[in-house]
Amino acid sequence: MKQLNPTAHDRAAWLSTIWTALEEWQEEYEGRAAVGTDTYEQRWDDICTAMAWIHEDLNIEHKEI
């Protein structure tokens, strides 16, 4: 089985794609009523925190995207 070894550029491009989708989600749902006990702002904060951990794990700074 061939093992994939993506470059930092590939990873940054993938993260950029995810950020684009997340920003579209944010625009769509920003300001809407809460879902359960979380507001959309709290959910956005959780998403950004998770993405920061992914960036850190991949050793890619957000500004590289």
Domain residue ranges of the chain, discontinuous segments joined by +: 35-65
Element (H, E) at 29: helix 8-29
Q: How large is the average pLDDT for residues 55-65?
A: 80
Q: What are the tens digits of pLDDT across the range 1-44?
A: 566 677 877 888 888 899 999 889 888 877 666 666 677 778 88
Bigger pLDDT: 37 vs 60: 60
Q: Which two tokens stand for residue 38?
A: 């979380």
- pTM, full prediction: 0.66
Give me the DSSP letters along 28-58: HHTTPPPBTTB-HHHHHHHHHHHHHHHHHHH
d(CA 22, CA 25): 5
What letter represents residue 53's amino acid?
W
pLDDT beyond 90 at 50: yes
